Structure 1
Amino acid sequence: MKALQELARKNIWQISPDETSLDNPGKDDARIFLDANEIPYNKPHNRYPDPWQTKLKATLSQVKGVAPENIFLGNGSDEVIDMVYRVFCEPRRDNVVAIAPTYGTYKARADVNDVEYRAVPLSEGFRLDAQKTLAARDANTKVIWLCSPNDPTGNSLQQTEIEKIIMGFDGIVVIDEAYSDFSPAKLFRSEIGKHPNIIALNTMSKAWGRADIRLGMAFANEQIVKLLNKVKLPYNINTLTQRHALDALEHRQDVEKWVRMLLQERGQLMKAFEYLPICERVYPSDSNFFLAKMTDAQSIYKYLTEKGIAVKNESDVELCENCLRVTVGTKSENSELLGALRQF
């Protein structure tokens, strides 16, 4: 891996931590708060959030097995993705490499940040080819984006191929593990001590059932976390989000139950799709959704929409012609979907 000073944008590297620090020495011991221009009424909502999410990170550390100093929190994973560009990629000069198809926000934020985006198609069966992916890089490639399990394909990328990319690339490798709670695959957040160029992403939006609180997580080398902290907005995680996240972590047995139920429903729903005359193929999934190749995805999508059933038409996505992405719902929701499809 190159030195972080070479990878980070020069202006970001040169920012002093003091320029962005919100620390007030002695504030933790204070009884009266007259330092932040907050009015003294309407407690507790009159106070700014903890800008470093200290209590939340301590709890996450215990649950995720990662030290607090290796955790960065964002307003959803989308904020973290955007900040990776802002920290490492010089507009109109640097580039990133990603697989295709994959999560669309990687390209969307590349476009916003004026960074070249190089997409490398997955191989047959949506398999990762490390050699082909690495061949797309050049001297100005700063980041390689990997999503595993991948969206919209649903499958986990092969661990050996991911490791080849980590070992063969001297820049930042981001592994988005948003759907990892549904997968038996290895978690790369456990590798950040061994491989300092890894940033592993996770979220409260999927298995944790808290999409509305917008909490994304990045697990990375402490020096990378410090760079992200230089760029983040002062109070990017509001107090209500921090409280709801702590509550979720204290009731994680609910998540374990939800995942068990969802995996059972996923297996039944995928099997039922295989028997539908209008379904040509159901792709393997390690996620809370699966990809299905249909006889006429656009017509089926339109028909389901008219029935008040929302699925995702992926037909315009590379390698996903005539494919629908179906999120697994409750037993009754899945039954209604199947009933509608059988009448198509």
Structure 2
Amino acid sequence: MNINNLLRKNIKNLQPYSSARSEYSGEAMVFLDANENPFNEPYNRYPDPLQKNLKEKVAALKNVKPEQIFLGNGSDEPIDLLIRSFCEPGKENIVTIDPTYGMYKVAASVNNVEVKKVSLTEDFQLDAEQMLNAADENTKLIFLCSPNNPTGNLLGKEAVLQLVKKFNGIIVLDEAYIDFAPGKSLLPELSNHSNLVILQTFSKAWGMAGIRLGMAFAAPEIISVLNKIKYPYNLNILTQEKAMELTDNREKVEKWVKRIIAERAKMAELLKNFPFVEKIFPSDANFLLVKMHDARGIYDYLAERGIVVRDRSKIHLCDDSLRITIGTSKENEQLLKALNDLI
């Protein structure tokens, strides 16, 4: 697929901003190029605009090439940049599954891009043919989330790949929760499909939501477009330093993931015992979607006791359901005790 044929004309012709730091490569001793304050090192210097050292570490972790990586201010930045790159405002559209992560629609709306929603099946699975039927000549992007938020389940691999192979545009697969479904990432498929973009994040399994670091993996041609239109210094030096630090301690992250998966299984069993719980949906993420009698009332009851969950009861296919993130053993016990007091 020729990515240039999908780009907006103004993006294709755009002359990107050239920062002082991006114009020089090599080892320098004196920096007099960027009008920086010479005091308060190292924070007086602009960060590496392309995060080369961090990308080398991410590439080794994910078994991809550095040129296949875009690092952004959370995953929300590449979501927005992809829509801005490929969708002409007021004319072109994206297709999403329903229900799913709300930022795809928000980013599209900000850019005046129509959103077409296609319902998941009753068991929260993807109907590839319906997605293809919803797309038209003005559809540039299809957004998928697997494991999906708020349903928690992985989408079928074959259905996803069917879309990748048949859709004449970009498939964006958001794998924010993939670390809680070990071995299920589609990153190994990346080099086989030039129209596939995979999003991952340091916010969930890596425990770094506060530093706002998202990853997009794609063909170098797509990555170069994102680098072309991003803000020059989109990741600050503190974010890059903290990520470099934690990527050296992957064993700690793996222990966190194992503990969360174990707590997820334990919580799923214990929540079944409450008479107001109707169903606990299978989860491949770090949360459970739980269907309850009077979900809103229970949400309010928990909030009054300082326990915050997410009310998803008004979301398509999620009637009367709460989304409960898996916390520490102590936090989970506090939730269970509060629910027990309702009986």
TM-score in same-fold range (> 0.5): yes
The equivalent of 2:251 in structure 1 is 253
Q: CA deviation at 1:316?
A: 1.1
Moved more, 50-59 or 21-30: 21-30
Instruction: Find the aligned partners of 1:337 and 1:57 in 2 and give their Cα distance.
Output: 39
Instruction: Find the aligned partners of 2:274 and 2:107 in 1 and give their Cα distance.
Output: 38
Residue 119 of structure 1 pairs with residue 117 of structure 2 = yes
Q: CA deviation at 1:185?
A: 5.1
Of residues 144, 147, 161 in structure 2, which corresponds to 1:146? 144
Change (3 A) 1:334 1:27: same
The equivalent of 1:4 in structure 2 is 3
The equivalent of 2:39 in structure 1 is 41
Of residues 173, 181, 184 in structure 2, which corresponds to 1:183? 181
Q: CA deviation at 1:184?
A: 3.2
Q: CA deviation at 1:27?
A: 4.9
Instruction: Please show how residues 112-261 of structure 1 align to structure 2 within 5 Å.
Output: 112-184=110-182, 186-261=184-259
Instruction: Find the aligned partners of 1:178 and 1:207 in 2 and give their Cα distance.
Output: 9
| Number of aligned residue pairs | 342
Q: CA deviation at 1:186?
A: 2.6
Which whole-Å deviations, capped at 9, do the CAs of 1:37-65 have from their partners, x for residues lacking one?
01111111110000010100001111111
Q: Contact conserved, 1:205 with 1:214, CA < 8 A, in 2?
A: yes
Q: Contact conserved, 2:21 with 2:34, CA < 8 A, in 1?
A: no
Change (3 A) 1:184 1:44: closer
Instruction: Find the aligned partners of 1:250 and 1:80 in 2 and give their Cα distance.
Output: 25
Instruction: Find the aligned partners of 1:29 and 1:154 in 2 and give their Cα distance.
Output: 47
Change (3 A) 1:20 1:116: farther
Percent identity for Structure 1 against Structure 2: 50
Instruction: Find the aligned partners of 1:331 and 1:5 in 2 and give their Cα distance.
Output: 50
Aligned structure 1 segments of 4 or more residues deviating by more than 4 angstroms: 21-27
Which whole-Å deviations, capped at 9, do the CAs of 1:108-131 have from their partners, x for residues lacking one?
111100000001010011111111
Q: Please tell me the root mean square deviation across aligned C-alpha atoms, in Å.
A: 1.2
Instruction: Find the aligned partners of 1:156 and 1:293 in 2 and give their Cα distance.
Output: 19
Instruction: Find the aligned partners of 2:20 and 2:8 in 1 and give their Cα distance.
Output: 23
Of residues 103, 106, 112 in structure 2, which corresponds to 1:105? 103
Letter in 1 for 2:83: Y
Residue 62 of structure 1 pairs with residue 60 of structure 2 = yes
Q: CA deviation at 1:28?
A: 2.5
Change (3 A) 1:33 1:127: same
Of residues 72, 75, 83 in structure 2, which corresponds to 1:74? 72
Of residues 265, 275, 300 in structure 2, which corresponds to 1:302? 300
Residue 331 of structure 1 pairs with residue 329 of structure 2 = yes
Which whole-Å deviations, capped at 9, do the CAs of 1:77-97 have from their partners, x for residues lacking one?
011111111111100000000
Q: Contact conserved, 1:70 with 1:222, CA < 8 A, in 2?
A: yes
Instruction: Find the aligned partners of 1:25 and 1:312 in 2 and give their Cα distance.
Output: 46
Q: Contact conserved, 1:297 with 1:323, CA < 8 A, in 2?
A: yes
Q: CA deviation at 1:20?
A: 3.8
The equivalent of 1:89 in structure 2 is 87
Instruction: Find the aligned partners of 2:6 and 2:18 in 1 and give their Cα distance.
Output: 21
Change (3 A) 1:343 1:50: same
Change (3 A) 1:133 1:40: same
Of residues 274, 277, 286 in structure 2, which corresponds to 1:288? 286
Change (3 A) 1:84 1:274: same
Instruction: Find the aligned partners of 2:222 and 2:281 in 1 and give their Cα distance.
Output: 36
TM-score by length of 2: 0.97
In structure 1, runs of 5+ residues without a counterpart are none
Q: CA deviation at 1:191?
A: 1.4
Q: CA deviation at 1:165?
A: 0.6
The equivalent of 1:14 in structure 2 is 13
